[in-house]
């Protein structure tokens, strides 16, 4: 009932049927509702934005509106059909604003629910990996021409490896939850890789690779695929869309697509980097992005996957040290398990590094 009151503030017409929790991300809370509109059932997606993480939700919505309307206009100009399945459509509130604030100060937004789509936690086939790669490459290409002022940085220094290390070391020094003593192996591994992991942020800072608008959370389950054709439709979860490097998205996709174990898998022998998925992913990705990526960006593709496993592992470990206040957890050592899978993935990549770099060079 409270949910229904809240939803009635969005410009959604017809008769409310039902609403319930949906999806399983680590940050926001997501719901789906269904309505009868003049004899047809329509569904919507609603999210309460985590304002501990996104301190300026109005800025988040401003970015999202600019990016989605730019993509929709580009699709319309190219004669594309079914545009509202290829890009998120924000549903405004009745007062015209792109969000609603509830009685407790909660910040809500709504989108059209994209029907006939699915997202994956684990990739099922190399063909699917190719579709995912093409979807991410297309998104980057669609944003190359976005004009106007620089987008807001919704989370400053989000993928700044050096700052992530500073924060990690602070958490380690404080050790507020007395957890550091049991983390020797993970801490040592992260320290041993600190230098190498900074390659992307340094390349960006020195201008070796260009700043671009990117998604910044382009893990596989944020890409919707078409149930009929398997092709990529829209990329969702746009809160972090902001300036960064294309390689941030490429890296996050490599990290999630080429490892077919869950992000919180406890049996680490299952965490394996799969070259066949990597080859398919990169060929799909480059089919859309080869035209605008620079040579320096292309050369860093393998390293981006390794760096993204690293930065996520480091963030999970930091959150574990800080008492699990950032990521939603479902069990006491959840963040530690997540950290361990990322380290296992880096190790698996290292064991196959020659092949990985050869595959990337062949594809480019």
Q: Which residues bind ligand GN1 (CB under 6 A)?
A: 25-27, 53, 217, 219, 222, 237, 240, 263, 312
Q: What count of other Cβ atoms lies within 10 Å of the Cβ of residue 164?
A: 23
Is 25 a binding residue for Mg ion by CB under 5 A? The answer is yes
Please report how close the Cβ of residue 235 comes to Mg ion at its closest, in angstroms: 10
Computed from CA positions of residues 24, 133, 139, 165, in that sequence, does the dihedral angle turn out positive or negative?
positive
Residue 30 touches which of ligand GN1, Mg ion, ligand ADP, none (CB < 5 to 8 A by kind)? ligand ADP
CA-wise closest residue to 32 among 88, 114, 97: 114
Please report how close the Cβ of residue 239 comes to ligand GN1 at its closest, in angstroms: 6
Is 288 a binding residue for Mg ion by CB under 5 A? The answer is no
Angle at 235 between CA 338 and CA 227, to 5 degrees: 95
Strand spans (E) along 4-122: 15-21, 29-37, 40-48, 90-91, 100-101, 107-112, 117-118
CB nearer ligand ADP, residue 114 or residue 280: 114
**Residue 271 and residue 261 in contact, taking contact as beta carbons nearer than 8 Å:** yes
CB nearer ligand GN1, residue 219 or residue 279: 219
CB nearer Mg ion, residue 63 or residue 222: 222
Return the range that interacts with Mg ion (CB under 5 A); candidates 18-26, 241-249, 291-299, 350-358: 18-26
Residue 240 touches which of Mg ion, ligand ADP, ligand GN1, none (CB < 5 to 8 A by kind)? ligand GN1
Please report how close the Cβ of residue 200 comes to ligand GN1 at its closest, in angstroms: 15
Q: Pick from 92, 102, 113, 122: which binds ligand ADP (CB under 6 A)?
A: 113
Residue 223 touches which of ligand ADP, ligand GN1, Mg ion, none (CB < 5 to 8 A by kind)? none
Please give the residues from 12 up to 71 whose contact with ligand ADP meets the rule CB under 6 A: 22-23, 25, 27-28, 30, 45
Q: Is 23 left (phi over 0), alpha (psi -120 to 50) or beta?
A: left
Tokens standing for 345? 């993935």
Q: How far is CA 18 from the centre of its chain?
A: 28
Is 230 a binding residue for ligand ADP by CB under 6 A? The answer is no
Residue 238 to residues 61, 88, 250, 323, 353, Cα–Cα distance (Å): 9, 9, 16, 27, 32
**Residue 100 and residue 19 in contact, taking contact as beta carbons nearer than 8 Å:** no
Helix axes 301-321, 184-192, angle to 10 degrees: 140
Residue 114 touches which of Mg ion, ligand ADP, ligand GN1, none (CB < 5 to 8 A by kind)? ligand ADP
CA-wise closest residue to 286 among 276, 268, 271, 299: 299
CB nearer ligand GN1, residue 66 or residue 215: 215
Please give the residues from 3 up to 22 whose contact with ligand ADP meets the rule CB under 6 A: 22
To which H or E segment does residue 214 belong?
A: strand 212-214
Please report how close the Cβ of residue 251 comes to ligand GN1 at its closest, in angstroms: 10
Residue 111 touches which of Mg ion, ligand ADP, ligand GN1, none (CB < 5 to 8 A by kind)? ligand ADP
Angle at 176 between CA 175 and CA 179, to 5 degrees: 55
Q: Pick from 19, 67, 87, 88: which binds ligand ADP (CB under 6 A)?
A: 88
- Helical segments of the chain, H only: 2-7, 57-77, 126-143, 161-174, 184-192, 194-197, 199-206, 246-257, 275-289, 295-299, 301-321, 334-351, 353-363
Please give the residues from 197 up to 256 whose contact with Mg ion meets the rule CB under 5 A: 222, 237
Please report how close the Cβ of residue 158 comes to ligand GN1 at its closest, in angstroms: 7
Is 245 a binding residue for ligand ADP by CB under 6 A? The answer is no
Please report how close the Cβ of residue 76 comes to ligand ADP at its closest, in angstroms: 19
Q: Pick from 65, 90, 92, 117: which binds ligand ADP (CB under 6 A)?
A: 117
CA atoms of 344 and 183, how far apart (whole Å): 15
Q: Rule CB under 6 A: which residues touch ligand ADP?
A: 22-23, 25, 27-28, 30, 45, 88, 111, 113-114, 117, 119, 221-222, 224, 236-237
């Amino acid at each position: 009932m409270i949910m229904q009151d809240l939803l009635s503030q969005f410009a959604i017409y017809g008769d409310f049927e039902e609403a319930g929790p949906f999806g399983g991300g680590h940050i926001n809370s997501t719901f789906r509702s269904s309505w009868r509109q003049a004899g047809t059932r329509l569904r919507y997606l609603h999210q309460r934005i985590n304002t501990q993480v996104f301190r300026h939700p109005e800025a988040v919505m401003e970015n999202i509106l600019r990016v989605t309307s730019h993509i929709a206009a580009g699709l319309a100009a190219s004669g594309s059909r079914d545009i509202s399945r290829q890009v998120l459509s924000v549903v405004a509130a009745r007062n015209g604003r792109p969000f609603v604030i509830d009685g407790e100060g909660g910040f809500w937004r709504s989108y059209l629910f994209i029907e006939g789509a699915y997202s994956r936690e684990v990739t099922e086939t190399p063909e699917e990996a190719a579709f995912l790669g093409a979807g991410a490459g297309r998104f980057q290409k669609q944003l190359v021409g976005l004009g106007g002022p620089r987008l807001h940085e919704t989370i400053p220094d989000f993928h700044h490896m050096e700052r992530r290390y500073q924060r990690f070391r602070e958490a380690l020094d404080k050790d507020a939850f007395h957890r550091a003593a049991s983390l020797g192996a993970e801490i040592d591994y992260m320290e041993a890789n600190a230098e190498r992991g900074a390659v992307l942020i340094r390349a960006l800072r020195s201008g070796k690779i260009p700043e671009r608008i990117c998604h910044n959370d382009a893990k596989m389950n944020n890409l919707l695929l078409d149930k009929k054709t398997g092709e990529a439709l829209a990329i969702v979860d746009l809160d972090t869309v902001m300036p960064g490097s294309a390689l941030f998205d490429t890296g996050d996709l490599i990290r999630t697509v080429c490892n077919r174990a869950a992000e919180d898998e406890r049996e680490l022998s299952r965490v394996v980097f799969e070259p066949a998925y990597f080859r398919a992913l990169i060929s799909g990705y480059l089919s859309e992005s080869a035209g605008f990526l620079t040579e320096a960006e292309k050369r860093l593709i393998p390293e981006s996957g390794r760096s993204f496993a690293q930065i996520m592992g480091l963030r999970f470990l930091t959150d574990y040290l800080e008492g699990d206040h950032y990521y939603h957890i479902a069990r006491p050592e959840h963040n530690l398990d997540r950290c361990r899978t990322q380290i296992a993935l880096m190790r698996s990549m290292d064991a196959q590094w020659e092949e990985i770099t050869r595959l990337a060079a062949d594809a480019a």
